[in-house]
Amino acid sequence: MNLPNKLTTIRMILVVPFVIFLLGGHSHWGWFDFLFGGILEYMDWVALVIFVVASLTDLLDGRIARKYHMVTNFGKFMDPLADKLLVCSALICLIELGRIPSWAVIVIVGREFIISGFRLVASDNGIVIAASMWGKYKTTFQMIMIILMIADIEQLSLITVLVMWIALILTIVSLVDYIRKNRQVLTDFK
């Protein structure tokens, strides 16, 4: 369990308190009100800090693994899984809070399922699909979108909507780019 793998594991663990704090401030959980009653109005901000910390572990673990040659099978498998868990958890919570339309989440999550299936078929055929720049842009805008939606600052609502649309467009563009560049995966089954 090297440092990048520890960071990936921490990111997965942080999903639990993130969801609890994000939804807890808006719920009618009696135990939550009892424990945190005095700071309920700050729960979104606590959730935001947890999300940012978790997102930073995503940025760090890959860089550290590549720079210091610490890439492991655990990391190759768990890092993208941890990313999807964090993003999907955030998006589902944001639907419940009425901050993002469900159709937008379906587009984002659907893309993740398609790419995961695509990568699975590719790996069964000995093909490694590298991350593209479009995918990195997509991830960046999705993270910014989620941060803005968690913060829920009325004065930034127009920017939040704009960032959501950019994230959705990049989600679709990155999907088309993955399929276009790797279409042999769909045609060259063993």
Average pLDDT over residues 153-179: 97
The span from the CA of 142 to the CA of 166, in Å, is: 9
- Pairwise pLDDT comparison (28 vs 118), residue with the higher score: 118
The span from the CA of 96 to the CA of 25, in Å, is: 12
pTM: 0.89
- Pairwise pLDDT comparison (29 vs 67), residue with the higher score: 67
Per-residue tokens: 29: 């959980």
For residue 14, what is the DSSP state? H
60-110 pLDDT, tens per residue?
998 999 899 998 888 888 888 899 999 999 999 999 999 999 999 999 999
